[in-house]
Amino acid sequence: MTDAEKILPVILGTDENSYTIARSYHAAFGKKCVVCGAGVLLPFYRTSIAHLHTDPRFSSDPDVFCALLNSVYAKYRDEIDEVMIFGPTEEYLELLYSCLENLDFTPLLPYPDPKLGPALADKNYFYSRMEECGVAVPKTGVATAENYCRAVPEEGALFLKAANYGEFNRFDFPGKHKGFFAADPNEARAYLGSVFRSGFTGEMLVQTYIAGTNEQEYSVNGYRSRRTQQCTFVQARSVLTDKRPMWVGNHLLLTDTDRSDLFGMCTRALEKLGYYGFFNFDFKVDAHTDRPYMLELNTRLGRSFHYANLNGVNFIEQAVRDFAGADLPEIKRRPFNWITADRASVEKLLDGENLAHFRAEERYRNTGNALDYAADSDALRRARITAHRKKLGSELAQMVRG
């Protein structure tokens, strides 16, 4: 059995998701983690909760990636028993999986195995597996550069997205969206035409649109232990979502909720896949039938997973203690508001029942964002974070007015 304190956490990247992991570790153990990246992004500016190691080619050159990780291991090897690596994105996890044989150590990985993880990054594969598992997903077709006109159904609203977002994101064209809502088949064909004229040669998924607004969308983050087979879930409901083209679907306000049917669908999917480690499922509940549909599985914790900490669950602590063979702390759930912009800006975007729900005393007191961490209190850092969040609030207000 490994002492949890003797496991060195190494986090890939310096974005907000990476910072949420670092904050979670620091909150649980009171210690700094190691962060490796191509540069220092805003979340880690003048941070006091992490040791930073950077190289401009870290995320793009596998040799540099391995060399930096091996140098970190050499620096700390006499002080530790194990290294646990945390990846915030599928791109980093794919790079890590491909480089495992070139590392001077065997890392602990709280993620699915190197075959299943990359396979699930292909959304087309994911949807076919969920259909096999008997988990409800939107009716999905595949469009290519050769067949996209024929691949679009003859009627109904549709939602379009790339089967592999990493590949899709390398191409630019007018009107590009992370995910695109098409009110009718003609609009879908026009958008797909723009996609494939950009030079993109991958697959686009053409899905039946699930009726309802973003308020029918739910997020479930969690961790499944290979050692005990147990799952821990935290669920949130979307109240506000981003509508800017390349941020479409990203959450702006998530709040506590508890639909047991979603947990049942997650459990079925994980067990049928033989999946262990961190996960993030996205759902939408049909506004007419109240039937939930599974939209996505991210093979990592979601970018908004700090809502789990607000709810009373520290997934990073769970993974470290699980791999150490230690007991997990008791969970005490709390209502929460997870926000991206500053509280005042978010509040101005709400009205009616949503505003009353947001302002409910216990929930309002437990409103937060991962970047606002009292233990990381450098004055210049706090000023830049505050300015960033106010700027985001102004952009969102303009988005709503527009």
State the pairing for strand pair 337-339/367-368.
parallel
**Cα–Cα distance, 370 to 310 (Å, whole number):** 9
Quick check: is 170 in a domain? yes
**Domain with 22 in it: what CATH number?**
3.40.50.720
pLDDT (0 to 100) of residue 225? 96
Taking Cα atoms as reference points, which of 276, 275, 277, 337 lies closest to residue 306? Answer: 337
Residues 318 and 183 in one domain: no
Q: 266 and 368: one domain?
A: yes
For residues 14 and 143, membership in a common domain is answered with no
Number of structural domains (the chain) is: 3
**pLDDT confidence of residue 85:** 98
Single out the residue in 111, 131, 164 at which a domain terminates.
Answer: 111
Q: Is position 333 within any domain?
A: yes
Q: What is the pTM of this model?
A: 0.93
Helix 16-29, helix 315-323: angle, nearest 10: 60
Please return the burial class of 290, using the count of CB atoms within 10 Å of its CB with bins 0-12, 13-18 and 19+.
Answer: exposed
CATH code at 320?
A: 3.30.470.20
Residue 275 confidence (pLDDT): 97
Strands (E), 230-276: 231-241, 251-256
Q: Are residues 358 and 308 in the same domain?
A: yes
| Cβ pair 219, 282 in contact under 8 A | yes
What does the pLDDT look like over 165-194, one tens digit per residue? 888 988 999 989 888 999 999 999 999 999
Residue 288 lies in a domain: yes
Write down the pLDDT at residue 401: 56
Residue 33 belongs to some domain of the structure: yes
Contact 161, 188 (CB under 8 A): no
Question: 19 is written with which tokens?
Answer: 């910072």
Per the CB < 8 A criterion, the answer to whether 35 and 14 are in contact is yes
Evaluate whether residue 131 is within a structural domain.
Answer: no
Q: What is the pLDDT of residue 241?
A: 83
Residue among 274, 277, 237 nearest 254 (CA): 237
Q: What residues have CB less than 8 Å from 31, skipping those under 6 apart?
A: 5, 25
pLDDT value at residue 245: 63
Domain co-membership, 30 together with 95: yes
Judge if 89 and 26 occupy the same domain.
Answer: yes
Regions of the chain with pLDDT less than 50: none
Asked whether residue 361 falls in the same domain as residue 337, the answer is yes
Domain assignment present for 195 = yes
Do the Cβ atoms of 22 and 305 come closer than 8 Å? no
Do 281 and 178 fall within a single domain?
A: no
CA–CA separation, 60 vs 235, rounded Å?
Answer: 34
Print the domain residue range for 158. Answer: 139-208
Distances (CA, A) of 203 to 132, 168, 268: 21, 9, 27
Helix (H) or strand (E) holding 178: none
Residue 127 belongs to a domain: no
pLDDT of residue 396: 78
Domain shared by 148 and 290, yes or no: no
Task: Using DSSP, state whether 269 is helix, strand or coil.
Answer: helix
Are the C-beta atoms of residues 111 and 278 closer than 8 Å to each other? Answer: yes
Is residue 302 assigned to a domain? yes
Query: 57 and 195 share a domain?
Result: no
Express each pLDDT in 135-174 by its tens digit: 999 999 999 999 998 989 988 999 999 988 888 988 999 9
Query: What 3-state class would DSSP assign to 402?
Result: coil
Does residue 393 share a domain with residue 249? yes
pLDDT given at position 249: 66
Domain-ending residue, one of 208, 225, 247:
208
24 and 70 within one domain: yes
